[in-house]
Every structure is written in structure tokens, then in C-alpha cells.
Amino acid sequence: MIKAGTMLLEDIKRHAEREYPRECCGLLIGRIEDEGLTRVVFETYPVANSWEEGDTRHRRMLIRPQDYMDAERHFSKRGLGVVGNYHSHPDHPAVPSEFDLKNLAPWATMSYVVVSVMKGRAVELRSWELKADRSRFNEEEISKGS
């Protein structure tokens, strides 16, 4: 399960709309609780889409390890770290793709938030977690409490 306040989820949607028709991406900063079962998000950390292969940033995104490292370092002082990531699917559903499964997904302990942006409007936000055997994503509950 992922816990994230409504404001944070709105921030992600706005980011996705700003980047449309390109994909946006970012990291979710927080703490992992309940022995790994719950990811509590305190901040979002938008990063630049570093995908450079041709002009396919409308359907591909890349978060550089450098950005990931910066985020981990920066938030470690507050006892927080990277607990997930988000990216948008311009004019596609908020469901991870086969490409996401092969490339997006480092670890099963993270949350993978996908925002669907249709014609410039963020219409849906869903969160997914990777199955331990890395075979697929399962949707996870988004708790908007606090």
C-alpha cells in the first residue's frame, strides 16, 4: 500500500500535465513502514526526463541514477529516502507497460505511480507494485489519509 496526501497526488498530476505531450517523471520520497508493506510519501521529487534516444520523450522516460543518488542523499538527513517513482503515460491508460516491466522496475519494495494524461488532462492516477518474481505489476491501494 502507498500512503500519500491528496496535495502530493495533485502535484504529480500537475507535473504530468505541464510536461504533456512528453512523459514526466519523478521520485517519491518517504519512509517504508509496516515491515515493508506500506510506503508513506512525504514529498515528490520531480526530475528531468533524461531519455535521449531520438525524440521519443512522448512515450519514454528515464530517471538518471545521479538524480536518484541526489535525492537519497538530500533526504537522508530527515530520515527519508526514495520509496517509489512516478511517470506519466500521455494518451495512454495509467497501467504499466511491458516496457515498464522490463525497465522501470528496480525493486518490488517500491511504488510505481502512473498517471494517464489524455489530451493534456491528467485523468487517472494509479499505483502499482512489482511482484516479487518480477513477472508483473499488481495494482496497490492508494491511501489518501492525512
Sites of contact with other proteins (CB under 8 A): 23, 25, 31-32, 35-36, 51, 56, 59-65, 68-69, 72, 76, 80-85, 87, 89-93, 95-101, 103-110, 114, 131, 136-138
Closer residue to other proteins (CB): 7 or 53: 53
Nearer to other proteins, 100 or 122 (CB): 100
> Based on C-alpha coordinates, what's the Rg of the chain?
14
Q: Least separation, in Å, of the C-beta of 14 and other proteins?
A: 19
For residues 143 and 58, give the distance between their C-alpha atoms in angstroms, rounded to a whole number.
29
Q: Are 101 and 136 in contact (CB under 8 A)?
A: yes
Phi, psi angles (nearest 5°) of residue 29:
-110, 130
Q: Which residue has the cell 512522448?
A: 58
Q: How far is the CB of 31 from other proteins (least distance, A)?
A: 8
CB closer to other proteins out of 9 and 40: 40
Cell numbers describing residue 5: 496526501
